[in-house]
Amino acid sequence: MTEHSANSESPHDPLSRSALIRAAADGELSAEQSRVLETLRSSDASVDSAIEFESQLRRHVATAMHEPAAAPAALRANIESIFAQERDVVGPAATRSTSFWNRRAGWLAAAAAILVVASATMITQWPVNKQPLPVTGVAPIDQGMFIAASRFIAKEHNRCAPFERYFDLKMKVRDSAEATDTVVKLLGAPPTRIELDDAGYQFAGMGPCAVPGPGASVHMIYRPVDASDGAVSLFVQQSDDSRLLDENVRYRVPMEGGGALLIWRNGGLTYYLFCQDETSQSHLMTLLGAPGRELPA
């Protein structure tokens, strides 16, 4: 009868029977191990079948783990899009374009692809408090969309706030006047305000985004004027349906890690303000014309 290793030896001993068998099956035998194995084979007829067993195990592990065989096409397209965007960023000057709109189609495709990944991800992990949202009694809020939007915003803010590569890729508009025009073109209405210098935050960039829910959206991000930490993000989304949010109320979503997301609707646009500093938050909401009445979401 053939038996697998019956050793009580340390598996760290490279000359132990089991280590020799595994090394032989894996093609990892050293010269010394080869010599010792030959000696063992001559005295132990079960060694060869034990090696064959380990080899079979490896082959079957390979078969069992060869799934999923191919990456999803959407993921491949998204990565190709990132490569293409990066080419625009680091490519020769002659191929660069200062106009965001020249690359709008590609950007929207990238944003859509990011949305696919991000919205699938948001079901579990991102840093929004996961307590059930109480019913406010003010408006029939779609709470599922509310939660999804909050998670998406937290993730996008965290990706852009270091002002590194993701920021460079996403925030193609760096001028606040151009940002105003862009919002009008994309969302069909001007935002209440773009510049937030009076609250101590300097416009850093804007790019199209894909906040969950109906309507196109943009993301603007601001640096503190005093160069301290704590960027602020303002997302603005088309919102033609007044049933989604009560215009007389702003909603507060506490975020894990500090700060809160403030959401309100004004003039056919929904605003999502993410700021970690409470004092600044109050000032920002005043500047942006947020409703005075606040409810927890």
Partner 1 sequence: MERTDFERLALEQLDALHRAAFQLCRDHALTADLVQDTYVRALRSAHTFEDRGGGIRPWLFTILHNVFYSRLKRDAREPASVDTIYAADDRTPLPDDAPPAWDLSAFDWDHVDERLKKAIDELDSEARLTLLLWGVEGLKYREIAAILGVPDGTVMSRLYRARQQLIARIGEFSADLGVRDRTQTNDEPS
Chain residues binding partner 1 by CB under 8 A are 1-12, 18-19, 22, 26-28, 44-46, 49-50, 52-54, 56-72, 74-76, 78-80, 82-83, 86-87, 117-118, 120-121, 123-125, 165-166
- Closest approach, Cβ 296 to partner 1, in A, equals 25
Quick one: 78 or 270, whose CB is closer to partner 1? 78
Give least dist CB 190 to partner 1, A: 33
What's the min distance (Å) between Cβ of 269 and partner 1? 29
Residue closer to partner 1 by CB (options 163, 166) is 166
- Please say which residue, 140 or 144, places its beta carbon nearer to partner 1: 144
Q: Minimal distance in Å, beta carbon 282 to partner 1? A: 30
* 120 vs 138, beta carbon nearer partner 1: 120
Provide the b/e sequence for 264-297 (b: ≥16 CB within 10 Å): bbbeebbbbbbbbbeebbebbbebbebbeeebeb
Distances (CA, A) of 267 to 5, 131, 185: 76, 30, 15
Nearest partner of 283 among 191, 198, 193, 157, judged by Cα: 198
Q: Residue 292 gets which letter from DSSP?
A: S
Choice between 60 and 174, CB closer to partner 1: 60
Min CB(193)–partner 1 separation in Å: 32
Of the CA atoms within 13 Å of residue 78, those in its CB half-sphere come to 13
- State the minimum distance, in angstroms, from the CB of residue 33 to partner 1: 12
Report the C-alpha gap between 91 and 94 in whole angstroms.
8
- Residue number, 90 or 135, with CB nearest to partner 1: 90
295 three-class SS: strand
Count CA within 13 A, CB hemisphere, residue 118. Answer: 23
At residue 224, what are phi and psi to the nearest 5 degrees?
A: -65, 135
